[in-house]
Amino acid sequence: MIRKVVYSIFLAIIVLSLVLFFAAFPFGKNKMTVGKYYIDHGVQQTGAANIVTSVVLDYRGFDTLGEVSVLFAAAAGVGVLLHMIGERRERKVKVPPNFVVRVGSRIVFPFILLFGVYIFVHGHLTPGGGFQGGSIIASGFLLLYLAYPNYKLKRGGLAAIEGLAGLTFVTLGLYGLLTPKVSFLYNFLPMGVFNTLVSAGILPIIYVAIGFKVASEFAGIIDDMICDVMCRGGEK
Amino acid sequence: MIYYIGSLLLIAVGLYAVLVKSNLIKIIIGLNFISSGVNLLIISVGYINNGTAPIFSRLGLNPNTMVDPIPQALTLTAIVIDASELALAVAFVVLLYRHYKTLDIKKIRSLKW
């Protein structure tokens, strides 16, 4: 009974807030306030052609640092939860992957890596960036895990890449405090030529760091889950 | 407008799954539905009729017709966070299943209230 009451109150709050929301924000109308400033001044201030990137990494860079920490916390949580009990054994698969999957994944894997790297290197020019590129690279590792039952990533190496990437982000941010314009994540490098690969100062470097970090964290999550589910063959 | 309706439908389906279903996997899928709906909703708030992407990829793009970049920046990170928290939720379910040997929340006594 009390459950139903709580549910109804919860639903009423959601419906009410959605109705108020739709009344306040009609679809397709221009309702920008801060966004307009970013579009008008983003190119001069950050040098990135992609305004979304300049918002993510420059205007709201501190927020992105928080998001990366949330991602790290979630990945660490998965690792802690799944390794709390029991020891790890060799992975067992019921049906071994067939020839086509094994050879095909070996052919496709370098291209997946290349595509992921392309996505996060061009994050300041095209739609893309570290988060998307990192996820693509991690999906390549998932393919390897599915195709080769004995495949195993080295967790020490993953942790080192992840730590170095996070450290790069924080160090670049802290270096901004040493520049004459004392502010965290200040874009101290020269802007370069607009709309070319080497432009926008520190933004591409940060996006590459984020790409490595996301890729290693997702690969770690995949490793945790696949090994946890498949290594316990005896348990029901 | 179709985007508003679509996101509302996604949120409604997700809420139904979370509130009514008793299988933990279905509840997690419902949570994922809700987060997709919310992401779509945030993106569609920033949309402007006949707008272009906020990217100055070539000369001659009119800044006045560009859509709002902030909702896109917010959802960009939110999608990745969603994925990792989905993994965390699934890890919890794996542990619960191992402990109680069931996925039905009506049979898990310590979740009852």
- How does pLDDT run across B8-27, given as a tens digit for each residue? 899 889 988 888 888 889 99
Tokens of A197: 């690969």
| Angle (nearest 5°) at CA B8 between B3 and B10 | 95
Contact A50 B1 (CB under 8 A): no
**3-class secondary structure, B52:** strand
Give the whole-angstrom CA distance, residue B20 versus residue A218: 31
Interface test with B, best of A27, A194, A230 (most B CBs within 10 A): A27
With cut-offs at 50, 70 and 90, classify the pLDDT of residue A234: very low
What's the pLDDT at A61? 81
Measured between CA atoms, the residue of chain B closest to residue A38 is: B69
Q: Is the pLDDT score of A114 beyond 90?
A: yes
Strand partners, B66: B52
- Here the tokens at position A149 are 């039952």
Q: Is A51–B92 a contact, with Cβ atoms under 8 angstroms apart? A: no
Q: Which domains does chain B have, with CATH numbers?
A: 2-52+64-111 (1.10.287.3510)
B20 in A contact zone (CB under 8 Å): no
List CB contacts (< 8 A) between B92 and chain A.
Answer: 81
The pLDDT of residue A233 is above 60:
no
The rounded distance, in Å, linking the Cα atoms of A68 and B14 is 26
Indicate yes or no: CB of A71 within 8 angstroms of CB of B84.
Answer: yes
Whether the predicted pLDDT of A231 surpasses 80:
no
Mutate to test the interface with A, among B18, B31, B80 (most CBs of A within 10 A): B80
Are the C-beta atoms of A97 and A184 separated by less than 8 Å? no
pLDDT at residue A215 is higher than 80: yes
CB contact under 8 A, A67 and B55: no
Question: Are the beta carbons of A129 and B76 separated by less than 8 Å?
Answer: yes
- Distance between CA atoms of residues A155 and A163, nearest Å: 12
Q: Please list, in sequence order, all residues whose beta carbon lies within 8 angstroms of the beta carbon of residue A8, skipping any fewer than 6 positions away.
A: none
Give the distance from residue A168's alpha carbon to the nearest chain B alpha carbon, in angstroms: 19
The string of DSSP codes covering A77-135 is: HHHHHHTSSS-------SS---HHHHHHHHHHHHHHHHHHHHHHHTTTTSS--HHHHHH
Contact B47, B3 (CB under 8 A): yes
Residue B111 contacts A where some CB pair is shorter than 8 Å: no
For B94, the closest of A25, A71, A82 (CB atoms) is: A82
In this prediction, residue A110 carries a pLDDT of: 93
Q: Are A82 and A228 in contact (CB under 8 A)?
A: yes
Q: Which B residues 54-93 touch A at CB under 8 Å? A: 54-57, 63, 66, 68-70, 72-73, 76-77, 79-81, 83-85, 87-88, 90-92
pLDDT given at position A84: 67
For B40-64, what is each residue's pLDDT tens digit? 988 888 888 877 788 877 777 777 7
Please give the pLDDT value at position A90.
64
Arithmetic mean of pLDDT over chain B:
84
Mean pLDDT, range B93-111, rounded to an integer = 79
Is the pLDDT score of A229 beyond 70?
Answer: no
Give B52's strand partners: B66
- Residue A195 and residue A147: Cα distance in Å, rounded? 39
The predicted pLDDT at position A158 comes to 85
DSSP 3-state assignment of B66? Answer: strand
Chain A residue nearest residue B58, CA to CA: A195
Residue B89's contacts (CB-CB under 8 Å, 6 or more residues apart) are B28, B31
Q: In whole angstroms, what separates CA A44 from the centre of its chain? A: 27
Shortest distance, CA B35 to any CA of chain A (angstroms): 14
Check: complex ipTM more than 0.85: no
